[in-house]
Amino acid sequence: MRPGNEYTGKEADKFVETTFSRLSALPQSTSVIIRGDSGFATPKFYEMCDTHGVDFLVRLKANSKLGKLAETALVDCPPKYEESKCVYHEFKYQAASWGKARHVIVCSTHTADELVPWNHAFVVTSLASEAPETLFKTYRQRGNAENQIKELKCGFGFDKTDSSTFARNTARALITGIAYNLVQLFKQLFVSEDRRSTISSLRFSLFHIAGRIAWHARRVVIHLASNYVYKNWFSRLMDEVHQLAT
């Protein structure tokens, strides 16, 4: 938790530092790559990755110097106004606050019928031996993580911080995280055929359903609505949960 007027990437290196200690327990043959948005684009973060031997792909915010380097690299391949075009390239770059020059990959795109010649996306990386196009594909896969964060916020209310103290908001965030992890475990164990199901779809099909609970001969009986279309699926899941519990 942090004040709302602080930049989201402040102390990003400290945020992931505990993760590195856990990563050190993995077999030495395991390859680890950290993908991050521009909030992680700090010298301390790069240096910490170097220290722990972890590769990274981090988005850089565009600036005039990066723009000039990208435009210079594209002098010999001007875009055509009526055609869309995408060019991947790379160069060395050192910002004033960096201790050394680092490898930057660039995706330069031109959209047909637009007056702007090029739009550039910059990523700084420790993976200098890989092709820029391959690295950008790897970086863009972080969209899956964005979807998980979106589900955590929209499906579980993780972004609700309406209490007046940090302690209460932190406790609520931790409880929300536990609930999210329990649902993820439930999907891994019982919904393996569609692990991409969101909490919203699970609530609609399995949790928020019409029914009645009754006691019969020391047994709990769940009476489902006759028009419940997922009745067979619900019954199968209940059997699997019961088998796991016993």
At residue 18, the 3 state secondary structure works out as: helix
Q: With beta carbons less than 8 A apart as the criterion, state whether 155 and 199 touch.
A: yes
CA-based R_g, the chain, Å: 25
Residue found under tokens 């990563």: 23
Task: Check residue 29 and give its pLDDT.
Answer: 64
> Can you say how many angstroms the Cα of residue 85 is from the centroid of all Cα atoms in its chain?
28
Q: Collect the ranges in the chain with pLDDT lower than 70.
A: 1-2, 29-30, 193, 195
Tokens (6 digits) for 75: 């002098």
Task: Check residue 178 and give its pLDDT.
Answer: 94
Task: Check residue 175 and give its pLDDT.
Answer: 94
Instruction: Give the span between the Cα atoms of 186 and 240, in whole angstroms.
Output: 11
Residue found under tokens 């209310």: 157
pLDDT digits (tens, 9 = 90+) for 194-219: 767 888 888 888 888 888 889 888 88
Q: With beta carbons less than 8 A apart as the criterion, state whether 198 and 155 touch.
A: yes
pTM of the model: 0.69
pLDDT digits (tens, 9 = 90+) for 49-77: 898 888 999 999 999 999 999 999 998 88
Instruction: Give the span between the Cα atoms of 67 and 40, in whole angstroms.
Output: 20
